[in-house]
């Protein structure tokens, strides 16, 4: 069988070992060297170009159904649990806590739950919206496991590496949010990020108020492609008497976007995290769909004001 292997950045160091194993079983094996952001980003075009029979995608669970033969190899990491004990003083005022994890720690969720229950907490585990598949699991774009239980808990605990995932969940919830990073022995409150994000979002909207030409980003990645939304936003912009063009790419390169100087602002329909994490990478404001609607609403109100 001809197989294309695909690894997220953190697992690319293991690509050769897996390739050799599969070759020794009689397969013809290729490794995708492209950046891989998630299971939303399957290398289907590459696989088709080299006439592969199958993609083996490492490190992520299935994201959406695709018309290609894809095998997912999830990666679990046994994180040390000692940081849970250290988090207890910060959680002392909260009786009911919601726990969220990424796919790497889903297998440790029941152990984490048991730990907190033994220490007098009530634990609630939420359900994802659908891109993530397991209870308690979050993705950068599926924070349902947190948002769905926001009303039921006094605080949230994320257990896992980095702040990319807890940031998305914290922005979509209202309760105190703690990120326990067992790999770096850190416990961080995510609450200040909410205020910072709200300020930055407001800043983007204000910066885009004088924009007349909007570039709408539509990704061709399997799990990010949303041409329908792109077209709706284009119509909304045009209905407001402004110009819009849909910009298509697999992975948006910010240098290329910055070269497109005719556009006064960009609107993201691809990975929702682009309009949160990458806003400093474009010279023109990079808006989410909601922020665009706010710009249009405010522009309507400001029509009578000279200079707008
Ligand atoms: S957050 Fe973005 S990169 Fe991650 S799975 Fe969702 S769409 Fe893909």
pLDDT in tens, 186-234: 999 999 999 999 999 999 999 999 999 999 999 999 999 999 999 999 9
Please tell me the CATH superfamily of domain 2-73, with its number. Answer: Diphthamide synthesis DPH1/DPH2 domain 1 (3.40.50.11840)
8 A C-beta contact, residue 131 and residue 263:
no
Whether 140 is in the pocket of ligand 1, judged by its Cβ within 6 Å, is yes
For the chain, the structural domain boundaries read 2-73, 82-189, 200-302
CA 141 – ligand 1 centroid, Å: 5
Classify domain 82-189 by CATH architecture: 3-Layer(aba) Sandwich (3.40)
Whether 98 is in the pocket of ligand 1, judged by its Cβ within 6 Å, is no
Q: What is the pLDDT of residue 200?
A: 95
Please tell me the CATH superfamily of domain 200-302, with its number. Answer: Diphthamide synthesis DPH1/DPH2 domain 3 (3.40.50.11860)
Per-residue pLDDT of the chain (308 residues; tens, 9 = 90+): 999 999 999 899 999 999 999 999 999 999 999 999 999 999 999 999 999 999 999 999 999 999 999 999 998 999 999 999 999 999 999 999 999 999 999 999 999 999 999 999 999 999 999 899 999 999 999 999 999 999 999 999 999 999 999 999 999 999 999 999 999 999 999 999 999 999 999 999 999 999 999 999 999 999 999 999 999 999 999 999 999 999 999 999 999 999 999 999 999 999 999 999 999 999 999 999 999 999 999 998 888 777 66
CA 223 – ligand 1 centroid, Å: 8
Q: How many CB atoms lie within 10 A of CB 81?
A: 14
Please give the structure tokens belonging to residue 110: 């029941």
Q: What is the pLDDT of residue 308?
A: 62
Question: Model-level pTM?
Answer: 0.91
Do 2-73 and 82-189 have matching folds? yes
CA 120 – ligand 1 centroid, Å: 35
8 A C-beta contact, residue 87 and residue 115:
no
Q: Chain centroid to CA 279: how far? A: 14
């Amino acid at each position: 069988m001809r197989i294309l292997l695909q690894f997220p950045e953190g697992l690319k160091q293991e690509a050769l070992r897996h390739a050799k194993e599969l070759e020794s079983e009689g397969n013809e094996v290729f490794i995708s060297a492209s950046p891989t952001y998630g299971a939303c980003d399957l290398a289907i075009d590459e696989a088709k170009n080299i006439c592969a029979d199958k993609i083996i995608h490492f490190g992520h669970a299935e994201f959406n159904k695709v018309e290609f033969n894809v095998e997912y190899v999830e990666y679990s990491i046994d994180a040390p649990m000692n940081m849970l004990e250290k988090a207890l003083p910060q959680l002392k005022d909260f009786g009911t806590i919601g726990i969220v994890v990424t796919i790497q720690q889903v297998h440790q969720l029941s152990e984490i739950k048991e730990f907190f229950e033994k220490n007098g907490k009530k634990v609630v585990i939420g359900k994802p919206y659908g891109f993530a598949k397991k209870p308690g699991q979050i993705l950068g774009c599926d924070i349902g496991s947190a948002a769905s239980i926001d009303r039921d808990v006094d605080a949230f605990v994320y257990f896992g590496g980095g702040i990319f995932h807890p940031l998305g969940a914290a922005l979509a919830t209202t309760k105190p949010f703690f990120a326990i990073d067992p790999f770096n022995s850190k416990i961080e409150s995510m609450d200040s990020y909410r205020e910072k994000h709200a300020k930055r979002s407001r800043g983007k909207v204000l910066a885009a108020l004088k924009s007349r030409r909007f570039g709408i980003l539509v990704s061709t990645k399997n799990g990010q492609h949303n041409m329908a939304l792109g077209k709706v936003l284009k119509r909304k912009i045009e209905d407001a008497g402004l110009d819009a063009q849909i910009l298509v790419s697999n992975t948006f390169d910010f240098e290329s976007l910055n070269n497109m100087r005719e556009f006064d602002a960009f609107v993201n329909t691809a990975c929702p995290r682009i309009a949160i994490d990458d806003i400093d990478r474009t010279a023109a404001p990079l808006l989410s769909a909601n922020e665009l609607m706010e710009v249009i609403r405010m522009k309507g109100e400001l029509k009578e004001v000279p200079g707008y």
